[in-house]
């Protein structure tokens, strides 16, 4: 006598599916923010490295174009003489225009141009004490084709590595300052940057830890954003 048995296929119940989806959702909620933050930091570091490299190339271009070995030879920081029939109110405006000319495809911004004004700007890493209506191009600036903003203010070249629209618009996160010496680009904080003083979160217990301006040196020195 032959017995025929039907195979029984058992699937997941609705409750089991919902529980599984719930677990996946919890895991994603726990891990996704850290993954996003890690990715954002990587883009900031990559942008800073590129900005520094472009500034170094620009310095070489300026020396080649004017056939000089030192910026003193074109009265850097001391002259308001016109260039390209363009007049300047201060030496800083003229210097920024010279820097701009070395960036192919860049869009020049006049001093204190409205499009260079941040609705909210942060000087500290924890983004406290926001500054409203802050203009980063008091002495002029420019946008590069890849969206970076270079602005000259208070004797510093500030670079917003991901542009004004993306945020967080905070020094030490996506905005980094540089100094232009008579012969070279100085990474802000490198000369006198002391980890023992706690700059850029090297010692969070010290009041200087949240000063974002010193992070230019730390990020380029370590090749990462370890804070």
Domain boundaries, the chain: 15-222
CA-nearest of 95, 51, 98 to 77 is 95
Chain centroid, CA 100 distance in Å: 18
Question: Tell me, what's the pLDDT at 20?
Answer: 67
DSSP code string of 70-124: SGGGGTTTT----BTTB--SSHHHHHHHHHHHTSTT-EEE-TT-GGGEEEEEBSB
pTM of the model: 0.83
- Give 112-120's long-range contacts (Cβ < 8 A, gap of 24+): 112/137, 112/138, 113/137, 113/140, 113/141, 116/141, 116/149, 116/151, 116/164, 118/164, 118/169, 120/169
d(CA 180, CA 118): 24
Decide if 136 contacts 116 (C-beta within 8 A).
yes
Tens-of-pLDDT digits for all 227 residues of the chain? 555 555 555 666 866 566 766 666 665 566 656 777 899 999 999 999 999 999 999 999 999 999 999 999 999 999 999 999 999 999 999 999 999 999 999 999 999 999 999 999 999 999 999 999 999 999 999 999 999 999 999 999 999 999 999 999 999 999 999 999 887 898 987 755 666 678 888 788 887 889 898 899 999 989 999 98
d(CA 45, CA 50): 9
Question: Tell me, what's the pLDDT at 208?
Answer: 82
Helix (H) or strand (E) holding 152: strand 149-153
């Amino acid at each position: 006598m032959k017995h025929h048995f039907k195979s029984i296929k058992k699937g997941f119940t609705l409750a089991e599916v919902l529980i599984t989806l719930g677990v996946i959702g919890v895991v994603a909620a726990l891990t996704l923010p850290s993954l996003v933050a890690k990715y954002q930091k990587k883009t900031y570091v990559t942008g800073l490295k590129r900005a520094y490299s472009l500034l170094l190339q620009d310095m070489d271009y300026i020396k080649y174009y004017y056939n000089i070995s030192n910026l003193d030879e074109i009265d850097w920081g001391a002259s308001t003489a016109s260039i390209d029939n363009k007049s300047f109110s201060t030496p800083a405006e003229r210097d920024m225009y010279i820097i701009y000319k070395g960036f192919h495809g860049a869009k020049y911004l006049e001093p204190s141009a409205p499009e260079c004004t941040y609705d909210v700007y942060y000087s500290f890493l924890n983004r406290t004490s926001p500054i409203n209506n802050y203009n980063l191009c008091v002495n002029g600036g420019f946008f590069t084709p890849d969206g970076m903003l270079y602005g000259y203010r208070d004797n510093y070249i500030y670079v917003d590595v991901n542009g004004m629209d993306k945020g967080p618009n905070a020094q030490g996160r996506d905005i980094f300052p540089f100094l232009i010496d008579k012969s070279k680009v100085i990474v802000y904080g490198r000369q006198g940057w002391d980890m023992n003083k706690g700059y850029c979160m090297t010692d969070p217990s010290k009041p200087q830890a949240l000063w974002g301006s010193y992070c230019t040196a730390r990020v380029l020195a370590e090749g990462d954003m370890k804070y």
